[in-house]
Amino acid sequence: MAIALAAGLAGLAGLSGGAGAARAADGKAVYAAVCQACHQEAGKGAAGVAPPLKSAVVKATTAKTRDYVPLVVLNGLSGPIESEGLSFQTVMPPQGHLSDEEIAAVTHYVTQTLNGAKGAKVDAKAVAALRAGKAPSAADLRAMRSRP
């Protein structure tokens, strides 16, 4: 896991500041640089490390609230969760260093590209509002998760 985390953190170098803002519209690139080391290619997850992001749980939760994914990206998520019949003890750090545009782009990639979710797209303005609001606790975020 240390190698995967180091690889993910190494990818952040190209996403902070100007270069990252220019690539913000490419959620797949943000995902590859920041999320893929733990959540794996195409969001398949890594047993015992990171839950799948291409999942019925994420799709059902996104159908209920568009705020779940960007809130997890902004605030991280620690503690026990279940996904696709597996249990995870998550330790995802906050990714608040990403720009609002990058978070909106990676949210679109996870919710709509990986999961085929329909509905309103999360834009940078919505992410900025979430960032400015009260940060939810890990328990709050877990409570948002829907079972398919």
Q: How does pLDDT run across 56-98, given as a tens digit for each residue?
A: 999 999 999 999 999 999 999 999 999 999 999 989 999 999 9
The pLDDT value recorded for residue 48 is: 84
Percent of the chain scored above 70 by pLDDT?
83
pLDDT tens track for 119-136? 778 999 999 999 999 999
**Alpha-helical regions (H) of 12-121:** 18-22, 27-30, 36-39, 56-64, 68-75, 100-108
Alpha-carbon span 114 to 142, nearest angstrom? 21
